[in-house]
Structure 1
Amino acid sequence: MRVTGDYIYESKNTHDAYMVAGAEDSRYAQFVSVPHARDCYDYSGWGNGAEKIYEAAVVGEGANGVKFSFECWPDALDNEYSIYAISCKHVFGCVSLKRKHYCILNKGYPKEEYERLVSQIKKDMERNPYRDPQGRIWSYGEFLPINLSLFAYNESLAHAYFPKTEKESLASGFKWHEFTATPYTATKQWVDMPDTLAETPDTILQEVIACASCGKAFCIVSGELALMKNLSIPLPRECPTCRHNARFVRTNPPRLYNRSCQKCSRPIQTSYAPERPEIIYCEECYKVEIA
């Protein structure tokens, strides 16, 4: 079945998706890395049997009917406007609950009373929506307002994919966090690192190494060294942040461009920007080309 997006695996009827596996009948899904996810819309992470998820993030493991929520799992059912609701069913506006049913603002109610109050709250949210400091309206049916986010913009994946300056972030209503790096004095320069694992003594674990790219200090921990020995891979010369950034720049961004097949001129969507040098074909022309 047809899909659109990038890094999509074993999915069908899924559109405008990014890094998803086993998605079905979904749209605007991203980082759904564990199959399966069905009937989801505007959903970020992570799948594993999730169904009917709408405007929610970090929800999965059997979750069903979760809307406008964050970190609700496993087997969450009918959660709305809730955060860290673990194995909860039929909760609204709850935070840090575990295995609770029919709760509003962390208070339990009989089923009929819960349903009556939730219906009343939704109507009131539509009549009296929240207005954020930028004047934007957030009524029922929208995700939690961005100025109430638990994280600053530059602490999120959004900043990696869609960079903003501090001024731009604050003007948009996001928070900003200034990181204070702990100063360390390097005891070994990257050029002095052993070339092979056979030449590497265990005392490397006590060294503070200067990164080859940014110069910041980093160290190698015992588990990391054991893994490198097991896989027979060389010691890193760069700090974890620089290594992550080097991997990140090799991935296509979560953006589609309207272009034309360079063989038949058919309109197509692709994650390859127009200024990139690669030759872009539609699916049919690509299959003919590689046959």
Structure 2
Amino acid sequence: MTNTPNFDKALNKILKDLRPLEKICKECKEKFRIEQGDIDFYKMVRVPPPTHCPLCRLKRRLSHHIRMPRFFKKESAMKDKKKILTIFPPETKHKIYDFHYWHGDNWDAIEYAREYDESKPFFEEFKNLFFSIPHLPMERDPKGTNTDYSLGGLKTSSVYFSGGAVESEDLTYCYEIRYSRNLIDCHNTRDSELCYESIGSDHCSKCQHITECSNCLESLFLFDCKNCQNCFLSANLRNKSYIFENKQLSKKEYEKKIKNIGLGKRSIRNEYIQKFQKLIQESTHRATKNINVENCVGDYLTNCKNCYFTFRSENSENARFSTIFARAKNVMDVVGTISEYTYEITSGTAHNTKFCLQVREGTFLEYCIECYNCHNCFGCIGLKNKQFHIFNKPYEESEYYKKVDSIKTKMLEREEYGEFFPTKLGLMPHQGSSSQLYFPITKKEAMEKEIPWYEEPESEIPEKMQQLQAPNEIPENIQDIDNSILEKAIICEITKKPFRITKNELAFYRKMNIPIPTIHPFKRILKRAAQDHNLWLFPFACPKCSKKTWSVYPPEKQKKLNILCEACYLKEIN
């Protein structure tokens, strides 16, 4: 017997005769199709078909996925009103608590409970509740150690100015790292150690400036290389050693060349970075990169089955239109999750959950944010270890379901139920979101879409701290850098924003013979994201066999690069 009979009756009328069809997206006004696979999922999780196309839904979810380390100092809502580090710019309406205080027992979000007025639009009422409650200054691993300057994450330690790390340690200025350690300036990398400037790579060690590489060791400037050791400035290699600029050398010849290059000097390294970018443009690319998949359409999938339009996942099954997730089953429209039977959620570990943001260990939640170990809650924010709550107000189980039935039925009538949190509500700062990272918009575009936009405050530099203008005032060679650099502010040569070098960072640069960077870490993260694969697929016809398929490369890149379908790629490269 159903707990929500009125809602189910109304929803059944919508789903009963639903067939594959073409719709017009409410956001971009473009046509999109709802396929049978989508309909089967809607019926399974009991939701109406969406009003937004898959791409607009992705952008909306990503706008709430805050993983870029863009931090500010903001006055807290605590008694001492001290300024704390947060993702929320100073002028936002967000109330924040210290991270540890928020997770402690000295306050309870049910203090902000209110009765939901069913006659009013749900999202406006929810927004009012949201901005009345103190929030985490940033969402990060509550069990992590030395992770005060990280975002998201699971089972992490010693993570600094990085986002989206899973079971990793000793990371600096990284984004989306899994099962790795001792990395600096890496992006979308897993199962690796002692790497620098690794993008879209896995199972690599002691490598620098590598893109789309696997199982490589002690190599530099490699693109799409696999099982390679001691290789330099090369592409599309398999099972090779001592390759220099795609030419085979003896061990002695290779070591002599490497020794004479002097990559510890910035001008020389920058010269090879330019050569590397040219090499990538001239090399063979695969339309999508997947490993050991069955019946999948997507990119960066490993050990996955029955996944459609999915990106960056491993060990997942039966997923649709989902991104950056792992060990998931029966999910659709999710971002940054480990979950089952979930729909439209961003950042969380959950089961049977819909339309939620930043929930951990939750079940049967709908329209909840920042809830930990909660079950059977609707429209709640900031709860811990609770069940049967609506707008943070507790109910008896029978009364809870009666109330939820009425709320969902009215939301369905107003075409609210089934929609994720609109970006224009300003629940999360869009400029620090993954949406801005992969689908950037300008301030003008944000204003047109009614998305809140915040100006960057001036960076604070201690009055007596010496400032070094990059690159001219930074010694070119890492060998000429002494420890005094740790007490100085470097002014980025592009953004003119200051940044510091940490003790661990300097030790890494010395060990790996890497010159001190002259570009702000946040700008470097943006550059790496632009070099990584897209989070979307585009129609693609292989130039070699004419097979029509999908590619992560947009049409403009398809015209410039040598891209092949999987079959032709394997024939040519392997």
TM-score relative to the length of structure 2: 0.45
Aligned ranges 1:181-200 → 2 under 5 Å: 181-182=458-459, 184=461, 187-189=467-469, 190-200=471-481
In structure 1, C-alpha distance between the alignment counterparts of 2:466 and 2:314, rounded to whole Å: 42
Partner of 2:305: 12
Contact 1:152 1:174 in 2 (8 A): no
Partner of 2:378: 92
Instruction: Describe the superposition over 1:148-198 as per-residue Cα deviations: whole angstroms up to 9, x where unpaired.
Output: 231233232212222222232122131111112226586223334344544
Contact 2:357 2:369 in 1 (8 A): yes
Partner of 2:296: 3
Unpaired runs of 5+ in structure 2? 1-293
* Residue number among 342, 348, 355 corresponding to 1:68 in the alignment: 355
Partner of 2:568: 285
In structure 1, C-alpha distance between the alignment counterparts of 2:539 and 2:393, rounded to whole Å: 49
Aligned length: 275
Q: Which runs of 4+ in 1 moved over 4 A?
A: 183-186, 195-198, 229-232
* Residue number among 153, 162, 165 corresponding to 2:439 in the alignment: 162
Counterpart of 1:187 in structure 2: which amino acid? Q
Partner of 1:79: 365
Q: CA 1:164–1:246 in structure 2 vs 1: closer, same or farther (change >3 Å)?
A: closer
* Residue number among 233, 253, 256 corresponding to 2:537 in the alignment: 256
In structure 1, C-alpha distance between the alignment counterparts of 2:301 and 2:571, rounded to whole Å: 22
Contact 2:364 2:376 in 1 (8 A): yes
Partner of 1:134: none
Contact 1:186 1:217 in 2 (8 A): no
Contact 2:533 2:553 in 1 (8 A): yes
In structure 2, C-alpha distance between the alignment counterparts of 1:279 and 1:197, rounded to whole Å: 37
Question: More deviation in 276-285 or 177-186?
Answer: 177-186
* Residue number among 414, 421, 427 corresponding to 1:150 in the alignment: 427
Contact 2:424 2:449 in 1 (8 A): no
In structure 1, C-alpha distance between the alignment counterparts of 2:332 and 2:466, rounded to whole Å: 48
Contact 1:169 1:175 in 2 (8 A): yes
Counterpart of 1:200 in structure 2: which amino acid? I
Contact 2:499 2:520 in 1 (8 A): yes
Partner of 1:135: none
Partner of 2:331: 40
In structure 2, C-alpha distance between the alignment counterparts of 1:157 and 1:99, rounded to whole Å: 29
Counterpart of 1:125 in structure 2: which amino acid? M
Question: More deviation in 1-10 or 88-97?
Answer: 1-10
Contact 1:169 1:176 in 2 (8 A): yes
Higher relative contact order (CA 8 A, sep 6+): 2
Q: CA deviation at 1:264?
A: 1.4
Q: CA deviation at 1:39?
A: 0.7
Within the alignment, does 1:178 sit opposite 2:455 as a pair? yes
Query: SS where residue 14 of structure 1 aligns?
Result: strand
Partner of 2:491: 210
Aligned ranges 1:257-272 → 2 under 5 Å: 257-272=538-553
TM-score relative to the length of structure 1: 0.86
Q: CA deviation at 1:205?
A: 0.9
Counterpart of 1:274 in structure 2: which amino acid? P
Counterpart of 1:154 in structure 2: which amino acid? Q
Q: CA deviation at 1:125?
A: 1.2
Unpaired runs of 5+ in structure 1? 130-137
Contact 2:459 2:498 in 1 (8 A): no
Question: More deviation in 272-281 or 189-198?
Answer: 189-198
In structure 2, C-alpha distance between the alignment counterparts of 1:225 and 1:19, rounded to whole Å: 31
Partner of 1:132: none
Query: SS where residue 188 of structure 1 aligns?
Result: strand
Contact 1:155 1:177 in 2 (8 A): no
Question: More deviation in 257-266 or 161-170?
Answer: 161-170
Counterpart of 2:545 in structure 1: which amino acid? C
Partner of 2:482: 201
Partner of 2:502: 221
Partner of 1:237: 518
Instruction: Describe the superposition over 1:269-291 as per-residue Cα deviations: whole angstroms up to 9, x where unpaired.
Output: 10122332222222222233334
Query: SS where residue 445 of structure 2 aligns?
Result: helix
Q: CA 1:268–1:186 in structure 2 vs 1: closer, same or farther (change >3 Å)?
A: farther
Q: CA 1:199–1:144 in structure 2 vs 1: closer, same or farther (change >3 Å)?
A: same
Q: CA 1:122–1:186 in structure 2 vs 1: closer, same or farther (change >3 Å)?
A: same
Identity percentage over the alignment? 31
Contact 1:91 1:101 in 2 (8 A): yes
Partner of 1:273: 554
Contact 1:88 1:99 in 2 (8 A): yes
Query: SS where residue 123 of structure 1 aligns?
Result: helix
User: RMSD of the alignment, in Å?
Assistant: 2.1
Contact 1:4 1:15 in 2 (8 A): yes
Query: SS where residue 191 of structure 1 aligns?
Result: coil
Query: SS where residue 13 of structure 1 aligns?
Result: strand
